[in-house]
């Protein structure tokens, strides 16, 4: 095993050893590092009215490292993942950002088809206008009676901290499930859902021209439901529909979102690989306005409609050359605001 892979795997082995792990085990890991140079057509992510606006283009340099390690011993399994990276803007230095994300999952098989486990994740974003910390932990039960069907049910807690405006921070218990069913070797279906009851430190916002006799804390119910289909063959394809609803007791904070997304990957001549991803979205605000102008931070979701393309080709055994392009767009009809952003770049990915 190469040195960097051995180091990554050793982190997982050490974690299990601290918990009293088993002796005989399989250890595997992988690591990749990507460097990019990009042109960002809307570096500050500004909304505009009509076609008027100043030049917001900028040159960006990005670096991303991603690693994963897996430790399997007898009935135990431990999986760890880490992603870390940053972007440096030449002109709009206020948009410089550093992001780190880590996840750890441990599971125990109780029999041929039943397993239990715990999982935790953490994400920290520094810099720019969307600096936040997102933490979650849960316990789960997984049922897999055969190779075609798997079902996971989880319960846990979620804590979100938004540094720019602490009133947008929340704590929440959460319930969720994920079911996968493989129709045959290349076709599969998935269904997932989750619900969280979020409590905020801020007071409830009341409709204009009202004078409430009391002031309570903001509370939201956050619901997500998704159904998807995937195909793996000469063409890799995935299609999903997602419905998200935030029902809030605070005026203007409720929103309903419909999203249709698709991903595709295909190998082309001359060792080229083309990856494409697109999203169409429709939002509805029951109160007729949306008083929270911030992007939905947890998903880094900056637009209703997106399109991204990536073309990759190996230039050596360990290095790939990549060309990328992404387009993001959103229109807010109630206030005539329009959001549009394009990002194009070239990069190298190294796998030790």
Specify the pTM.
0.84
123/251: higher pLDDT: 123
301/98: higher pLDDT: 98
Class of residue 14 by CB neighbours under 10 A (exposed 0-12, middle 13-18, buried 19+) = exposed
- Mean pLDDT check: name the lowest of 35-44, 109-118, 212-221: 212-221
**64, 67, 48: which is closest to 56 by C-alpha?**
48
- Mean pLDDT check: name the lowest of 9-13, 23-27, 119-123, 259-263: 9-13
Q: Give pLDDT, residue 19.
A: 41
Place of tokens 């009215």: 49
- Neighbouring residues of 343: CB distance < 8 A, sequence distance ≥ 6: 38, 39, 40, 41, 60, 324, 325, 326, 327
The SS3 assignment for 167 reads helix
Q: Give pLDDT, residue 330.
A: 82
Q: Which CATH architecture has domain 32-350?
A: Beta Barrel (2.40)
The span from the CA of 83 to the CA of 63, in Å, is 11
Q: Give pLDDT, residue 56.
A: 87
Q: What is the pLDDT of residues 312-331, one digit of tens each?
A: 999 999 999 999 999 998 87
CB–CB of 119/110 below 8 Å? no
Domain boundaries, the chain: 32-350
State what percent of residues in the chain have pLDDT above 70.
85
Mean pLDDT (whole number) for 17-42? 78
128/201: higher pLDDT: 201
Burial 28-53 (b: 16+ CB within 10 A, else e): ebebebbbbebebbbbbbebeeeeee
Burial 303-332 (b: 16+ CB within 10 A, else e): bbbbbbebebeeeeeeebebebebbbbbeb
One-character DSSP codes across 233-293: SSEEEEEEEEEEEEEESSTT--EEEEEEEEEEEEEETTTEEEEEEEEEEEEE-TTS-----
Q: Give pLDDT, residue 237.
A: 96
- The highest-confidence range among 27-31, 33-37, 215-219, by mean pLDDT, is 33-37
Q: Give pLDDT, residue 198.
A: 95
Q: Give pLDDT, residue 199.
A: 95
Assign 55 a pLDDT band (cuts: 50, 70, 90): confident
The SS3 assignment for 214 reads coil
- Write down the mean pLDDT value for the chain: 86
Class of residue 285 by CB neighbours under 10 A (exposed 0-12, middle 13-18, buried 19+) = middle
Mean pLDDT (whole number) for 268-279? 95
Give yes or no for residue 12 having a pLDDT over 90. Answer: no
One-character DSSP codes across 2-49: -HHHHHHHHHHHHHHHHTT--SS-EEEEEEEEEEEEEEETTTT---BS
Q: Give pLDDT, residue 271.
A: 93
- Mean pLDDT check: name the lowest of 161-175, 191-205, 261-275, 288-302: 288-302
- Token pair in block for residue 158: 């979620």
The span from the CA of 23 to the CA of 76, in Å, is 11
Q: What is the pLDDT of residues 167-205, one digit of tens each?
A: 889 999 999 999 999 998 899 999 999 999 999 998 888
- Token pair in block for residue 36: 């990019």
Assign 335 a pLDDT band (cuts: 50, 70, 90): low
């Amino acid at each position: 095993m190469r040195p960097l892979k051995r180091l990554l795997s050793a982190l997982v082995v050490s974690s299990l050893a601290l918990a009293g792990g088993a002796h005989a085990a399989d250890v595997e890991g992988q690591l990749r590092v990507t460097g990019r140079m990009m042109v960002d057509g809307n570096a500050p992510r500004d909304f505009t009215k009509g076609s008027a606006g100043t030049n917001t283009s900028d040159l960006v340099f990005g670096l991303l490292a991603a690693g994963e390690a897996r430790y399997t011993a007898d009935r135990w399994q431990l999986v760890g993942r880490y992603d870390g990276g940053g972007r440096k803007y030449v002109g709009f230095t206020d948009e410089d950002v550093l992001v780190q994300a880590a996840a750890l999952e441990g599971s125990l098989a109780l029999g041929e088809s039943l397993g239990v486990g715990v999982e935790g994740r953490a994400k920290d974003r520094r810099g720019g206008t969307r600096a936040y910390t997102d933490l979650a932990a849960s316990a789960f039960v997984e049922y897999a009676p055969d190779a075609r069907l798997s079902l996971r049910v989880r319960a846990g807690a979620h804590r979100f901290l938004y540094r720019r405006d602490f009133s947008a921070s929340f704590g929440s218990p959460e319930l969720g499930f994920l079911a996968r069913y493989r129709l045959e070797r290349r076709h599969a279906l998935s269904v997932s859902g989750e619900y969280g009851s979020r409590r905020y430190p801020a007071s409830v916002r009341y409709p204009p021209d009202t004078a409430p006799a009391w002031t309570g804390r903001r509370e939201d119910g956050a619901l997500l439901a998704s159904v998807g289909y995937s195909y793996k063959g000469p063409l890799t394809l995935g299609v999903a529909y997602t419905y998200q609803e935030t029902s809030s007791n605070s005026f203007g904070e409720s929103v309903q979102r419909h999203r249709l997304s698709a991903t595709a990957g295909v190998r082309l001549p001359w060792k080229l690989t083309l990856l494409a991803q697109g999203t169409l979205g429709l939002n509805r605000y029951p109160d007729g306005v949306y008083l929270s102008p911030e992007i939905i931070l947890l998903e880094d979701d900056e637009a209703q409609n997106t399109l991204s393309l990536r073309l990759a080709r190996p230039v050596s055994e360990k290095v790939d050359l990549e060309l990328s392009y992404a387009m993001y767009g959103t229109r807010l009809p109630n206030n005539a605001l329009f959001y549009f952003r394009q990002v194009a770049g070239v990069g190298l990915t190294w796998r030790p």
